[in-house]
Amino acid sequence: MTAPPATRVLSGADDAAIGQAARCLAAGGLVAFPTETVYGLGADAGDGRAIARLYEAKGRPAFNPLIAHVADAAAARALARFDGDAARLAETFWPGPLTLVLPKAGNCPVAELATAGLDTIAVRAPNHPVAQKILAAFGKPIVAPSANRSGRVSPTTAAHVLADLRGRVDLIIDGGATPVGLESTIVACLGAPMLLRPGGLPRQAIERALGRALAQAPHHGEASADNAPPAPGMLASHYAPRTPLRLNVTRVAPGEVLLAFGPNLVAGADKAARVLNLSPHGDLVEAAANLFSHLRSLDTAAASCIAVMPVPQSGLGEAINDRLQRAAARG
Ligand code: TXA
Ligand code: MG
């Protein structure tokens, strides 16, 4: 029996912490660090044992593949084959909140376990100074799912990571709250570019860069291991808090807490046990940044239900509504 490691938390503002993160990764350790989207739980992409520990720490189903994080497009080309669309998207949006699913390169050094046996690989160059410094110091790709226990919402602060993964990971680099607050948008370039997961980069920006519409991935409401969805991690209940959610409410019921949006609250809001507003001004960028931490806070209120006001579907609203629907899909 091995005792669980003590989880250290270091400030990402400190250069010595970056060196420790790189050494820990090189030794097969698990390091949580901030990206501009959410905190990731990193492991050496070439180290199958470290990746196995990572799946174990998250309690993640092993068929769910990971994103390989790299410093830039040049580093990504050692892992994956880029067609013209992929090259254009990487040039336009990297570093940034866009993940590309591409054919795996012939001599791709990423461990098979990280790609769950697929012949494609997800790659991303994150735009966060701490993530970039760790990638530079480590000098190799880092696989990193969101740094939450499987089935919990993605962490946007080091405190969220600690709440989920204390004693299960070696090191947490604290770089403050993540600015985007939603996971990256995932686009497959395996033919006509296809949106696999809405996220921090709005679809419209991607379509403008491509000069055409993205194909829509078939929706798998009840994904299961034997009906492999295009983005295997998009299980319907992936983002579930423990408290049930009721979406698009027009009235708050007794005993409910309220996740509000915009300046005009719904009827019964004054009776809600607790109210958190995603954006009192109705700003979708602010709402995205607050989404997961507000869900976590309301989940701790021991309410019968989290009532959620409607959020517009435009821009980042598509990704926010996607996450809310997943959080509401239970059982
Ligand atoms: O913003 C983000 O993307 C964060 C930060 C840490 O980079 N990472 C993140 O990773 O959200 P994760 O593992 O929580 O979600 C990655 C998604 C999963 O749904 C996974 O199934 C999908 O990417 N994915 C990975 N490789 C894939 C592939 N080859 N084909 C299709 N989907 C893939
Ligand atoms: Mg995740």
State in Å: Cα 64 to ligand 1 middle: 8
User: What pLDDT score was predicted for residue 151?
Assistant: 84
Q: Ligand 1 within 6 A of 21 CB?
A: no
Q: Using alpha carbons, select from 200, 195, 186, 206 the residue that is nearest to residue 37.
A: 200
Provide the phi-psi class of 191: left if phi over 0, else alpha when psi is between -120 and 50, else beta: left
Q: Which residues pair with 69 in a beta bridge?
A: 124, 142
User: What pLDDT score was predicted for residue 17?
Assistant: 97
Q: Whose CA is nearest to atom 10 of ligand 1?
A: 145
Q: Ligand 1 within 6 A of 118 CB?
A: yes
Q: Ligand 1 within 6 A of 233 CB?
A: yes
Q: Ligand 1 within 6 A of 232 CB?
A: yes
Q: Where are the alpha helices (DSSP H) in 174-283?
A: 203-210
Q: Using alpha carbons, select from 121, 68, 73 the residue that is nearest to residue 95.
A: 73
Q: Could you write out the DSSP letters of every residue in 47-93?
A: -HHHHHHHHHHHT--TTS--EEE-SSHHHHTTTB---HHHHHHHHHH
What does residue 294 show for φ and ψ, rounded to 5 degrees? Answer: -65, -40
User: What pLDDT score was predicted for residue 267?
Assistant: 97
User: What pLDDT score was predicted for residue 294?
Assistant: 93
What does residue 186 show for φ and ψ, rounded to 5 degrees? Answer: -110, 125
Distance in angstroms (rounded) separating the CA atoms of residues 188 and 216: 10
User: Hey, how many other C-beta atoms are within 10 angstroms of the C-beta on 107?
Assistant: 7
- Which residue has 């990504």 as its token pair? 76
User: What pLDDT score was predicted for residue 53?
Assistant: 86
3-class DSSP state of 284: helix
Q: Ligand 1 within 6 A of 231 CB?
A: yes
Q: Which atom of ligand 1 is nearest to the CA of 120?
A: 29
* Residue ranges in the chain modelled with pLDDT below 70: 1-4, 60-63, 219-239, 330-331
Q: Ligand 1 within 6 A of 135 CB?
A: no
Q: Ligand 1 within 6 A of 101 CB?
A: yes
Ligand nearest to the CA of 239: 2
Q: Which atom of ligand 1 is nearest to the CA of 199?
A: 1
User: What pLDDT score was predicted for residue 290?
Assistant: 84
Q: Ligand 1 within 6 A of 145 CB?
A: yes
User: What pLDDT score was predicted for residue 63?
Assistant: 63
User: What pLDDT score was predicted for residue 239?
Assistant: 58
User: What pLDDT score was predicted for residue 62?
Assistant: 60
Pocket test residue of 30, 66, 173, 185 for ligand 1, highest count of atoms within 8 A of CB: 66
The residue type of 256 is E
What number of CA atoms fall less than 13 Å from residue 105's CA on the CB side?
A: 14
State in Å: Cα 36 to ligand 2 middle: 14
